[in-house]
Chain A
């Protein structure tokens, strides 16, 4: 439910930024074509589009990180040539990307003071005052003397926003700001964005591909498809279905095959009283759970409640843990990743860039965790590897060549390679962490469908995800994790967003 009042309250204002006929071509790829976009003063303007639709290019043009091949940008009605981020900032444009540009070892105040420092002069006290005044005006709380690396990601993001505002920003670009946040922090960020509009009349360009964020905060929404704006509408008038249709029209759609929901199989993964002691406290305490053949069990929780450690424990990298892990009824010892693999347990890590060795080729990555199977002592069996790689590429619809470095692949294709590696081994059970994080709509659908197919062939899957919608869509059962403990179990027929959300918050 978008705020129709806000729209009428602020839409009378003139345009803060307008892009006129922008075009950008990389080589022979048209990234952005003939884009006209008007962002009004004091509005939250959502920019929706798939990965590769041109959102990022458009914002790079606006922030002076790249030059347009045609078209112009005007700010407050005057045409401006934005050739560097410095000029963009001077013109009142600020940007917060997913990769924060904060110096982590410095305090909040120092990060702000950095922008205005002279050769010797450094006004820490002034920066501190400015920060506190801004916080007061917007109604935010932040410790000006906290070191950035001591703050949670959600807080760091606020510092980024405050830094942009302290630099005199009138139009703030937020590039997929919720991608790095847990579900709870998303709501408070959206609240902050609303407050920025209402208290200081900030214009916000919100780049996203999450529909519900648009309906929650956006005043207007523009949809970008293959480099062109296909619609600009009042957000209140748009349903999720119509937005999706606009975004992916002409893009091949695949519906997730849900299959039969039954959880009667034998236990393939059982964890009993698992405790992991790290950094001076129990990040996982006496956790027990069971995954049966042919079911997906979703772990729902606010990030940082032990999910990462649970996944790590299941890859066998911890030595200091108590409790038992059984795979297919057999006890597997911690401290030995290969013992898990031999027992028939697979894993997809939360960070695909950490799981794949980016300098190695697709085929090398595919066989990395079972070299013994593809080599005679010391010698790689090239032909066998190539054959396996080609099969994987076909079976998992990977758009890549076997001898291509995996680092050159898109996120979706890289994830498919890792899934091919995981399921190519025919595991009995697997833990899959954040399988679609950062993927576009089409790749996300593919990955989810793949998980369903594997489940239907009998693999027991433990699904860890920060995306509650994903867990609700795929899981046969949901376990809620809070402070390293399972605090609730919900069967599919009883799925209820609000009730699960309350459990995640520890209520």
Chain B
């Protein structure tokens, strides 16, 4: 029993890691007043670019850096569409996601046509010390111990952070205060995209060591929900990611319970998503969306 619990806790931290990266990236973008629905596609891009570069160079770290750069570039493309051209954010984001998923799958098929159509790398191993709870990937430690506090500081205690919040809340007054709304929003999208791609790369470079179709499997959409659940706060969003991962880890354990073996496994698989819907239904009403959410900024 205790062992199962420990196993669940360890798995929770592992499963939550890509969600923490992606949802915090989305927090930064949405705080700047933009819904970035390219998140799912950006994660695919990160997953694919990460493993491809890692396989070519033989360095996982180089792969991760390449994924981060690719994510930032995707963020800038999103920026060109929604900031410079003023395209509707839903359309631009969904369009990019569809494009990037297909592009990743196609590139994967064309580039890696060996016998199983897959590229493989030797993935990162968890640190092996102090028992299964602390036996985690270094990116998991980085997500909770470095990234989250750093982003909190960035958002609440730094000049760029206050500018991001200002352009997301009231771009008119930010503009009058001499802040470039466009540049700040580009920065937020690039940073957010980099984080989303890092989350995607974690899955190929640490979890699997390979790239497959459907590899992200809706984690980007879950991250969007987590941001609303977290009310655009760093810690609440991280808590949401942990909660979702906890339900995921628990259902993985439940599938091993003999008494539940007659149950179609899809029902258990659906549990975390039901938890997201329930969580949003309970906490997602009357949430304080950033004031300029979804609104392109144009000077009069």
Q: Is the CB of B166 within 8 A of A101?
A: no
Task: For residue A372, give the distance in angstroms from its CB to the closest CB of chain B.
Answer: 34
B161 / chain A contacts, CB cutoff of 8 Å: 122
Option from B159, B178, B179, B291 in Cβ contact (under 8 Å) with A104:
B291
Asked whether any CB of chain B lies closer than 8 Å to the CB of A103, the reply is yes
Answer whether A110 and B170 are a contact pair too, CB < 8 Å, given A101-B176, A105-B291.
Answer: no
Asked whether any CB of chain B lies closer than 8 Å to the CB of A113, the reply is yes
Option from A99, A101, A104, A110 in Cβ contact (under 8 Å) with B162:
A110
Chain B CB within 10 A, most for which of A103, A110, A118, A119: A103
Q: Is the CB of B158 within 8 A of A122?
A: yes
Q: Is the CB of B162 within 8 A of A114?
A: yes
Q: Is the CB of B173 within 8 A of A122?
A: no
Q: Is the CB of B162 within 8 A of A122?
A: yes
Q: Is the CB of A102 within 8 A of B173?
A: yes
Q: How far, in angstroms, from A67 to B174 measured CA to CA in the complex?
A: 21
Q: How far, in angstroms, from A477 to B178 measured CA to CA in the complex?
A: 51
Q: Output the nearest chain A residue to B153 by Cβ-Cβ distance.
A: A120
Task: For residue B153, give the distance in angstroms from its CB to the closest CB of chain A.
Answer: 10
Asked whether any CB of chain B lies closer than 8 Å to the CB of A183, the reply is no
Asked whether any CB of chain A lies closer than 8 Å to the CB of B288, the reply is yes
Q: Output the nearest chain B residue to A86 by Cβ-Cβ distance.
A: B178
Asked whether any CB of chain B lies closer than 8 Å to the CB of A121, the reply is yes
Q: Is the CB of B169 within 8 A of A114?
A: no
A98 / chain B contacts, CB cutoff of 8 Å: none
Task: For residue A175, give the distance in angstroms from its CB to the closest CB of chain B.
Answer: 13
State the majority secondary structure of interface residues on B.
helix
Asked whether any CB of chain B lies closer than 8 Å to the CB of A13, the reply is no
Option from A85, A86, A101 in Cβ contact (under 8 Å) with B170:
A101
Answer whether A104 and B169 are a contact pair too, CB < 8 Å, given A114-B179, A115-B177, A115-B178.
Answer: yes
Interface string of A98-137 (1 = CB under 8 A from B): 0111111110001001110111111010000000000000
Option from B165, B177, B288 in Cβ contact (under 8 Å) with A101:
B177
Asked whether any CB of chain A lies closer than 8 Å to the CB of B160, the reply is yes
Task: For residue B171, give the distance in angstroms from its CB to the closest CB of chain A.
Answer: 10
Q: Is the CB of A120 within 8 A of B176?
A: no
Task: For residue B60, give the distance in angstroms from its CB to the closest CB of chain A.
Answer: 30
Option from A86, A89, A99, A119 in Cβ contact (under 8 Å) with B160:
A119
Q: Is the CB of B170 within 8 A of A114?
A: no
Q: How far, in angstroms, from A85 to B174 measured CA to CA in the complex?
A: 12
Q: Is the CB of B160 within 8 A of A114?
A: no
Option from B158, B166, B178 in Cβ contact (under 8 Å) with A106:
B166
Q: Is the CB of A121 within 8 A of B173?
A: no
Q: Output the nearest chain B residue to A105 by Cβ-Cβ distance.
A: B169
Q: How far, in angstroms, from A119 to B158 measured CA to CA in the complex?
A: 8
Asked whether any CB of chain A lies closer than 8 Å to the CB of B14, the reply is no
Q: Is the CB of B178 within 8 A of A122?
A: no
Q: Is the CB of B159 within 8 A of A120?
A: yes
Q: Output the nearest chain A residue to B160 by Cβ-Cβ distance.
A: A119
Interface string of B255-298 (1 = CB under 8 A from A): 00000000000000000000000000000000010110000000
Chain A CB within 10 A, most for which of B160, B169, B174, B176: B176
Total interface residues in chain A, CB < 8 Å? 22
B169 / chain A contacts, CB cutoff of 8 Å: 103-106
A104 / chain B contacts, CB cutoff of 8 Å: 169-170, 291
State the majority secondary structure of interface residues on A.
loop
A85 / chain B contacts, CB cutoff of 8 Å: 176, 178
Q: Output the nearest chain A residue to B300 by Cβ-Cβ distance.
A: A65
Q: How far, in angstroms, from A110 to B158 measured CA to CA in the complex?
A: 11
Interface hits, A189-215 → B, CB 8 Å: none
Q: Is the CB of B163 within 8 A of A117?
A: yes
Task: For residue B130, give the distance in angstroms from its CB to the closest CB of chain A.
Answer: 35
Q: How far, in angstroms, from A64 to B204 measured CA to CA in the complex?
A: 53
A106 / chain B contacts, CB cutoff of 8 Å: 162, 165-166, 169
Asked whether any CB of chain A lies closer than 8 Å to the CB of B125, the reply is no
Option from A86, A103, A124 in Cβ contact (under 8 Å) with B174:
A103
Q: How far, in angstroms, from A244 to B179 measured CA to CA in the complex?
A: 42
Task: For residue A147, give the distance in angstroms from its CB to the closest CB of chain B.
Answer: 11
Q: How far, in angstroms, from A106 to B164 measured CA to CA in the complex?
A: 12
Q: How far, in angstroms, from A106 to B291 measured CA to CA in the complex?
A: 12
Q: How far, in angstroms, from A104 to B158 measured CA to CA in the complex?
A: 18
Q: Is the CB of B165 within 8 A of A117?
A: no
Task: For residue B142, give the distance in angstroms from its CB to the closest CB of chain A.
Answer: 20
Q: How far, in angstroms, from A466 to B178 measured CA to CA in the complex?
A: 35
B291 / chain A contacts, CB cutoff of 8 Å: 103-105
Q: Is the CB of B166 within 8 A of A114?
A: yes
Interface string of B141-184 (1 = CB under 8 A from A): 00000000000000001111111011001101110111100000
Q: How far, in angstroms, from A299 to B159 measured CA to CA in the complex?
A: 48
A119 / chain B contacts, CB cutoff of 8 Å: 159-160
Q: How far, in angstroms, from A43 to B12 measured CA to CA in the complex?
A: 67
Task: For residue A437, give the distance in angstroms from its CB to the closest CB of chain B.
Answer: 22
Q: Is the CB of B158 within 8 A of A114?
A: no
Interface string of A433-447 (1 = CB under 8 A from B): 000000000000000
Q: Is the CB of B174 within 8 A of A114?
A: yes
Interface hits, A75-110 → B, CB 8 Å: 85-86, 89, 99-106, 110
Task: For residue A159, give the distance in angstroms from its CB to the closest CB of chain B.
Answer: 12
Chain B CB within 10 A, most for which of A85, A106, A114, A118: A114
B288 / chain A contacts, CB cutoff of 8 Å: 105
Q: How far, in angstroms, from A101 to B175 measured CA to CA in the complex?
A: 9
Option from B158, B170, B172, B290 in Cβ contact (under 8 Å) with A120:
B158
Q: How far, in angstroms, from A122 to B159 measured CA to CA in the complex?
A: 5
B159 / chain A contacts, CB cutoff of 8 Å: 117-122
Q: Output the nearest chain A residue to B170 by Cβ-Cβ distance.
A: A103
Task: For residue B108, give the distance in angstroms from its CB to the closest CB of chain A.
Answer: 38
- Told that A104-B169, A115-B178 touch, could you supply 13 new A-B pairs with CB distance under 8 A? A86-B178, A100-B173, A101-B177, A102-B173, A103-B170, A114-B179, A115-B177, A117-B162, A119-B160, A121-B158, A122-B158, A122-B159, A122-B161
Which residues from chain B sit less than 8 Å from chain A, CB to CB? 157-163, 165-166, 169-170, 172-174, 176-179, 288, 290-291
19 A-B interface contacts by CB (under 8 A):
A85-B176, A89-B178, A99-B172, A100-B173, A101-B170, A101-B172, A103-B173, A104-B170, A104-B291, A105-B169, A105-B290, A106-B162, A114-B162, A114-B163, A114-B179, A115-B177, A119-B160, A122-B161, A124-B157
Which residues from chain A sit less than 8 Å from chain B, CB to CB? 85-86, 89, 99-106, 110, 113-115, 117-122, 124
